[in-house]
């Protein structure tokens, strides 16, 4: 694609977003660097990012790093950009060592201008590269919502299928610890509402690695909603998941625990109290089937439906606000499906509280779904 086409895309993304001239120049220089180097760079194993030893457990942070390392090694068109992703190794150390291995041309530190570097990434994707655009938190992605929704999500449709946008938007989403209302919002349903976007929400290390690799290889824009509180969590990793070719299909849920009495459905951080609730219910002789959605768009309703036909009861768990949440959509789809007649009771929801996230620890905890909430709703559904 000729340079002037990139220049035109960049100009539209930046000036339409009202970015100052100084920032425009900085980001134009970054794009010049990409155009001159990314397409010709030779991959060298300068350092090993995530050693694939015989260990059977790995943190979600390391599994995300492993996925990016493998895909950047596999495809020289893949590059990472965002705030502090390079020299600082990422705000949460997710990209630790990647700049030392792949260099400044493929791991790019950006100014604090989400609208600017997101526009740059979308333009690069239109030109055939495969950017991984990291947001320090998805709360900051609000600054680039126009580029994500109006440019990345809609261009394939508006171009009659002529222009793809193979880009990944990733970073922490939802509740963290003591970062208050403006840094704790869950944007899951915001992005899941948009035609043209794919949205995935990993819970485990295998989810994180396999979904991110699938997202990077996808020709459509994919939003990968990680969670800060899960970065340090250690999860089992199978030998298969440690392989370079391991992928988790986008749009396919996973049954984390088999059961016969009630179905519990959640995703991302909400899986933590959900899995614990299943253990508590088992102590009382209640067999709960736990479904990890993994993907919100496309949405694997078939797995939920088949489970409900078996168990006849369901409780959904969302970390976000109750109005128009994922649980609401599950409820309506069940009402419209042949699984409705299999229900022996209402669909119950457990959600975050309908308030901005508080700062104090006790109120912050009260604003999120807890183990006791899930157990209580499960028993209500079963009339116990």
Q: Which fold has domain 254-382?
A: Rossmann fold (3.40.50)
Place of tokens 């655009």: 133
pLDDT band at 56 (very low <50, low <70, confident <90, very high): confident
CATH of region 3-236:
3.40.50.970
Residue among 30, 50, 43 at smallest CA distance from 73: 43
Per-residue tokens: 89: 């190794």
| Omega prior to 195 cis, within 30 of 0 | no
**256 backbone dihedrals φ, ψ, rounded to 5°:** -80, -25
Taking residues 239-262, what's their average pLDDT?
97
Residue among 196, 197, 237, 303 at smallest CA distance from 67: 237
Mapped onto helix, strand or coil, the DSSP state of residue 66 is helix
For residue 258, is pLDDT > 60? yes
For position 55, what pLDDT does the model report? 54
pLDDT digits (tens, 9 = 90+) for 122-138: 999 999 999 999 999 99
Cα separation of 28 and 39, whole Å? 17
For position 27, what pLDDT does the model report? 43
Active site residues: 114, 183
59-79 core/surface letters (b: 16 or more CB in 10 A; e: else): bbbbbbbbbbbbbbbeebbbb
pLDDT digits (tens, 9 = 90+) for 156-177: 999 999 999 999 999 999 888 8
Cα separation of 9 and 361, whole Å? 45
Residue among 271, 304, 263 at smallest CA distance from 287: 263
For position 176, what pLDDT does the model report? 87
Domain pair 3-236 / 254-382, same fold: yes
Taking residues 142-159, what's their average pLDDT?
97
Mapped onto helix, strand or coil, the DSSP state of residue 94 is coil
Per-residue tokens: 37: 């180097």
**Domains of the chain: which residue ranges?**
3-236, 254-382
For position 30, what pLDDT does the model report? 46
Per-residue tokens: 152: 């990345």
């Amino acid at each position: 694609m000729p340079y002037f086409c990139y220049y035109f895309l960049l100009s539209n993304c930046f000036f339409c977003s009202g970015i100052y001239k100084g920032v425009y120049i900085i980001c134009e220089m970054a794009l010049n660097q990409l155009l001159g180097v990314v397409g010709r760079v030779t991959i060298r194993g300068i350092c090993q990012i995530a050693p694939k030893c015989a260990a059977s457990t790995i943190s979600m942070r390391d599994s995300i790093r492993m996925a990016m390392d493998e895909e950047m090694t596999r495809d020289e068109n893949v590059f990472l950009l965002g705030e502090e992703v390079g020299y600082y190794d990422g705000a949460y150390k997710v990209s630790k060592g990647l700049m030392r291995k792949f260099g400044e041309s493929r791991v790019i530190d950006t100014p604090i201008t989400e609208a600017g570097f997101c526009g740059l990434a979308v333009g690069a994707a239109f030109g055939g590269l495969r950017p991984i655009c990291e947001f320090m938190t998805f709360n900051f992605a609000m600054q680039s919502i126009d580029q994500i929704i109006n440019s990345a999500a809609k261009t394939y449709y508006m171009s009659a299928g002529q222009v793809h946008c193979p880009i990944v938007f990733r970073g922490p989403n939802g509740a963290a610890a003591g970062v208050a209302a403006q840094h704790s919002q869950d944007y899951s349903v915001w992005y899941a509402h948009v035609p043209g976007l794919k949205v995935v929400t990993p819970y485990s290390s295998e989810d994180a690695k396999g979904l991110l690799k699938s997202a990077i290889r996808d020709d459509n824009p994919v939003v990968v909603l990680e969670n800060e509180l899960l970065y340090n969590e250690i999860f089992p990793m199978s030998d298969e998941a440690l392989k370079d070719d391991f992928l988790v299909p986008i749009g396919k849920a996973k049954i984390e625990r088999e059961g016969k009495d009630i179905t519990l459905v959640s995703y991302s951080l909400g899986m933590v109290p959900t899995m614990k609730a299943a253990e508590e219910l088992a102590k009382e002789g209640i067999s709960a089937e736990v479904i990890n959605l993994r993907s919100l768009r496309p949405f694997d309703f078939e797995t939920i439906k088949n489970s409900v036909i078996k168990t006849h009861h369901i409780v959904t768990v969302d970390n976000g606000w109750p109005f128009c949440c994922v649980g609401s959509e599950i409820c309506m789809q069940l009402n419209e499906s042949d699984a409705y007649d299999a229900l022996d009771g209402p669909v119950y929801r457990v959600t975050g509280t309908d308030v901005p996230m508080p700062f104090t620890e006790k109120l912050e905890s009260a604003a999120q779904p807890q183990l006791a909430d899930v157990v209580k709703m499960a028993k209500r559904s079963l009339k116990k």
